[in-house]
Structure 1
Amino acid sequence: MSEFRHFRKQIFRKKQKSRNLIRQDILLGHMKEHCNQFVSKARMSNLLQNS
């Protein structure tokens, strides 16, 4: 019985870990998108200033 409980705890931990990893991936994706938008905006303003 205690073994079974321990096993369930391990599975739960693994699920939590994968969930956290997914969350981190999503956050990184958002950050990248944000950076790309920022960079493209900066490039556009530079082009406008240079012309």
Structure 2
Amino acid sequence: MSESEKIAREEFDSKKLLVISAVGTREYYRNLGYSLDGPYMTKNLS
């Protein structure tokens, strides 16, 4: 995920990354710094 975040930031100038996640994978994304935003897990990119 860190490589995906890096590409989103550097190549696409993205400020936020959204991930479609199943209920069973949400804890995994929470551990990576994502939070629930509707049906997505999101993370602000700085």
Is TM > 0.5 for Structure 1 vs Structure 2? no
**TM-score, normalised with respect to structure 2:** 0.23
Q: For the pair shown, which has the larger CA radius of gyration, 1 or 2? A: 1
Answer 1 or 2: which has greater helix percent. Answer: 1
Answer 1 or 2: which has greater strand percent. Answer: 2
